[in-house]
Amino acid sequence: MKSIISISILLLMITVGSQAQPYRNAVGVKAGFSSGVVFKHFTDKRIALEGQALYNPFGFQFTALYEYQFTPYAKERLYYYAGGGLHSGNWSDEFAVGAALLIGSEFAFRKAPLIIGLEWKPMINFFRIFDYGPADLALTVKVDLN
């Protein structure tokens, strides 16, 4: 019985690890506490780099993120991702630099070049001004450029 469970877990891990992202490059908009434009590029099957130019009630920021994308089950179009990165820009009328974490999920449509997602990105500023923004929940809509 233990060997059957071990083999099943191993096969599941191989299946999950072999799935690739449904797109290579995408550009879109993010709407939430921070709103603006986003660009996402996959460097391999599970690693993506994302750039965001966003505006929120504190000001305008540029964010660069490193993300790990995965799916824990056999759904080929629903993905989860987590990552982090740095941001800089205007925060309460002063220049600030900080860090951000990101967790989210996205769904890529089969018959249309459209990706929709929901993400949460808490952030903290640590240079020139110390402040944080934990409530950055947003909806993303991206277009597949491939």
Domain ranges for the chain, please list them: 20-144
pTM of the model: 0.80
Give the Cα separation of 3 and 7 in Å (integer). Answer: 6
Q: What percent of the chain has pLDDT over 90?
A: 54
What's the CATH number for 20-144?
A: 2.40.160.20
Render pLDDT for 107-118 as a digit per residue (tens, 0 to 9).
989 888 999 999
Distances (CA, A) of 144 to 49, 54, 108, 130: 15, 20, 9, 37
pLDDT of residue 110: 84
Low-confidence ranges of the chain (pLDDT < 70): 1-21, 75
Question: Which residues have CB under 8 Å from 20's CB, separation 6+?
Answer: 45
